[in-house]
Amino acid sequence: MANSADQQSPARHVADSHELIRVQGARENNLKDVDVEIPKRRLTVFTGVSGSGKSSLVFGTIAAESQRMINETYSAFVQGFMPTLARPEVDLLDGLTPAIIVDQERMGANARSTVGTATDANAMLRILFSRLGRPHVGSAQAFSFNVASVSGAGAVTVERGGTTTKERRSFRITGGMCPRCEGLGRVSDFDLSALYDDTKSLNEGALTIPGYSVDGWYGRIFSGCGFFDPDKPLGRFTKRELDDLLHKEPTRIKVDNVNVTYEGLIPKIQKSFLTKDREAMQPHIRAFVDRAVVFATCPDCDGTRLSEAARSSKISGVSIADACAMQISDLAEWIRGLREPSVTPLLTTLGRTLDSFVEIGLGYLSLDRPAGTLSGGEAQRVKMIRHLGSSLTDVTYVFDEPTAGLHPHDIARMNTLLLRLRDKGNTVLVVEHKPETIAIADHVVDLGPGAGTAGGTVCFEGTVEGLRAADTLTGRHLDDRSTLKEKVRTSTGVLEIRGATAHNLRDVDVDIPLGVLVVVTGVAGSGKSSLVHGSIPAGAGVISVDQGAIRGSRRSNPATYTGLLDPIRKAFAKANGVKPALFSANSEGACPTCNGAGVIYTDLAMMAGVATTCEECEGRRFQSSVLEYRLGGRNISEVLAMSVTEAEAFFGAGDARTPAAHAILDRLADVGLGYLSLGQPLTTLSGGERQRLKLATHMSAKGGVYVLDEPTTGLHLADVEQLLGLLDRLVDSGKSVIVIEHHQAVMAHADWIVDLGPGAGHDGGRVVFEGTPTDLVAARSTLTGEHLATYVNP
């Protein structure tokens, strides 16, 4: 007996019993009391239609609570500097580990942010050049385009031993910023006719800059500054007066008994508008900048952003500007070739960082690439780089569609990286739609069955094989395969592109057929976006729907974003004989207690703020008197609570018939957003929903050529079919549709394919195939051809 007892395995340690992350009663957004158990140190994929609650469960509940609890371990002083996170709506969360979120948010709305600055590669390069560069020009900041050179001298008062003496001191900071362009790499020239109307005086509204109206604060400053006559037409200003209006240095003046700083129009515009990334601007500001400002490469630094001194210091004949302009895969080779014992640890770390770029499929980028120009998928992979070589284990990595923007060839590489993170002993949670990534999961959680209020429940939990056998929407569509078209449409003309050289394109000549569905494809970094966005003239008739994020506050909703609320307000106003402004929760009709927000936010300093439903309006956002006005038997709050499908029927017939509103609702239903509530805050929409919302707003634009950038991003397998139907309807109505896409179902459905490659960066930039999908599959001459052939003939 003793012998057999000795052979038994030792009792399991209690610490090893915490093998699950347990979620009970999750109610965040549309989740309906969700209970789920997620195995630790495994790869779990969350799937389901767009809007089914995946992000609410993974990001809004599990990751949010993990980050909130980590923040609470810091002192109250430190928490005061950190974002406050509210506790998610959930009964129990057990077994959480520290979460690292790698999402698809675009990087850097700052014109100074580049791939190098965002990944710390630039910081290491600057140190390297400050140590090895010849001639020696200064410390690391002498190579930074964000640090200006500053010098000064003067008398300082020093107290020593009870006596006060004056000493002369001087200082100098050597920065690497180009003084001409201030480190932006570009200079701006202004079209003065877009800034003002010289036939009018300032008091007559001569300034045509957003926010500079006569009644506004800026307008009052310019009218009351005293440097010129505000009643004199600008065309009759003297040279001195015009210079004061446009270029005057900051000067303290008094306007309406208030001390203010007066500054000329051009420096003021440069500071307020041009320091921001163009994509981060509000639409009307962006339109003004496009109209009024002409950008050109800085002639002094040739776009490198660096001063002449920084560019003069070299290592083996290479300056820091040359290094940052290299393709990262080439830069990694150059770094490996340097032999200098004094900086060996630095070279090793920098080489490892650059190798991570190559490993993750971003070796085609350069460190001087502006961060704002990266696609959502590229931005997400750049964020992954700092985690690849991490020594941390037992943490939870949370990914939001890591395969977005990836060619099927690149998805296999991404899958390997996810498995590597898991095999180090980490819990990997992935929100994903691509069957190639779902297939590698250890555990699958399928949410649904529908989207919005029709979703929010767990339809399936288990293995991939179990999902295939389950009767859920994802299970039924997991092995879907599109077939090639038997007959393709005939083009009605061609769009000629000649000598395209944007970014890595190599003098490309291509004819894009019009009147058909054209798919431009190729591996990530092969030059697709450069060809379509950089070479197709964005003039009359071209409507571009890119991947730029929708910007909106919690007051914005689908009704305000699409312009739907305008005809609805007018219809209510006409039916009741009152002003349309009463039916806006951001204007006269707003509840005075919550200012039309529906909730009252209480700031509790370093503790999580509390949002409570407004007792006055009960969350309806409007004054009680406004809710008495009705249209078709419904008040404005009830209309905003309707889904798109309900509203489509409501405004399509009867007393509430409003053709302008019905047309917008038709387009929303067309792109598969029939379940969305009209008043749902934009901040609660998923990535796929936002992209389709943007597509719906552009469908009414007058133009013959639609350019869509990866419209399948964030779409469930079942929704892709609906998108293809929409693209067919656009083409059949006489439009030309050009789609940048990696999804094989869209390729198979195309009338014509333009395939770029053969590789990425300087290995790409050439057209490797033009023709029908059938010809591409038959030839199998490119990576795309091989993957498409495997897809249609599994």
Confidence of residue 226 (pLDDT cuts 50, 70, 90): confident
pLDDT score for 350: 95
Residue type, 153: A
Per-residue model confidence as pLDDT tens digits over 68-100? 999 889 888 888 777 777 789 999 999 999 999
The residues near 452 (Cβ < 8 Å, ≥ 6 apart) are 30, 51, 643, 675, 676, 677, 680
Mean pLDDT of 761-790: 94
Residue (of 743, 97, 99) closest to 433 by Cα position: 743
pLDDT at 108 > cutoff 70:
no
Residue type, 538: A
Beta strand pairing status for 251-255 and 258-262?
A: antiparallel
pLDDT score for 769: 97
Backbone angles phi, psi at 763, to 5 degrees: -90, 0
**CA-CA-CA-CA torsion sign (226, 228, 232, 234):** negative
pLDDT score for 554: 75
Angle made by CA atoms 359, 360, 363, in degrees to the nearest 5: 70
Per-residue model confidence as pLDDT tens digits over 603-659? 655 555 667 888 899 889 999 999 999 999 999 999 999 999 999 999 998 889 999
For the ranges 111-115, 365-369, 400-404, 547-551, the one whose mean pLDDT is highest: 365-369
Burial 608-625 (b: 16+ CB within 10 A, else e): eeeeeebeebeebbbbee
What is the percentage of the chain residues whose pLDDT exceeds 90?
51
Asked if 45 and 26 count as a contact pair (C-beta separation under 8 A), the reply is no
pLDDT score for 6: 47
Angle made by CA atoms 279, 57, 443, in degrees to the nearest 5: 110
Which 3 state secondary structure label does DSSP give 340?
coil
pLDDT score for 4: 46
Per-residue model confidence as pLDDT tens digits over 688-742? 677 788 888 888 777 789 999 888 888 888 888 888 988 998 899 899 999 999 9
Other C-beta atoms lying within 10 Å of the C-beta of residue 559: 26
Residue type, 143: F
Other C-beta atoms lying within 10 Å of the C-beta of residue 162: 5
Per-residue model confidence as pLDDT tens digits over 180-215? 998 989 887 888 888 888 899 988 888 888 888 877
Q: Tokens 């696609």 appear where?
A: 375
pLDDT score for 20: 95
Which residues partner with 457 through β-bridges? 448
SS3 annotation, 622-661: ECCCHHHCCECCECHHHHHCCEHHHHHHHCCCHHHCCHHH
Mean pLDDT of 466-488: 90
pLDDT score for 499: 92
Alpha-carbon distances, residue 742 vs 436, 714, 716, 769 (angstroms): 13, 13, 15, 15
The span from the CA of 272 to the CA of 275, in Å, is 7
Per-residue model confidence as pLDDT tens digits over 25-40? 999 989 999 999 999 9
Asked if 460 and 472 count as a contact pair (C-beta separation under 8 A), the reply is yes
pLDDT at 551 > cutoff 90:
no
Mean pLDDT of 317-332: 96
Mean pLDDT of 290-302: 88
Mean pLDDT of 514-533: 91
Confidence of residue 109 (pLDDT cuts 50, 70, 90): low
pLDDT score for 712: 87
Angle made by CA atoms 444, 448, 453, in degrees to the nearest 5: 150
Integer Rg of the chain from CA: 30
The span from the CA of 31 to the CA of 91, in Å, is 12
Confidence of residue 2 (pLDDT cuts 50, 70, 90): very low
The residues near 232 (Cβ < 8 Å, ≥ 6 apart) are 201
Whole-number mean pLDDT of the chain?
A: 88
CA 98 to chain CA centroid, Å, is 25
Other C-beta atoms lying within 10 Å of the C-beta of residue 249: 9
The span from the CA of 136 to the CA of 96, in Å, is 51
Of the two residues 333 and 226, the one the predictor is more confident about is 333
Asked if 674 and 689 count as a contact pair (C-beta separation under 8 A), the reply is no
Give me the half-sphere count of Cα atoms (radius 13 Å) on the Cβ side of residue 660. Answer: 11
pLDDT score for 100: 93
The residues near 755 (Cβ < 8 Å, ≥ 6 apart) are 521, 522, 767, 768, 769, 770, 776, 782, 784, 785
Burial 762-782 (b: 16+ CB within 10 A, else e): ebbbbbbbbeebeebbeeeeb
In this prediction the pTM is 0.81
pLDDT score for 328: 96
| Residue 695 per-residue DSSP state | H
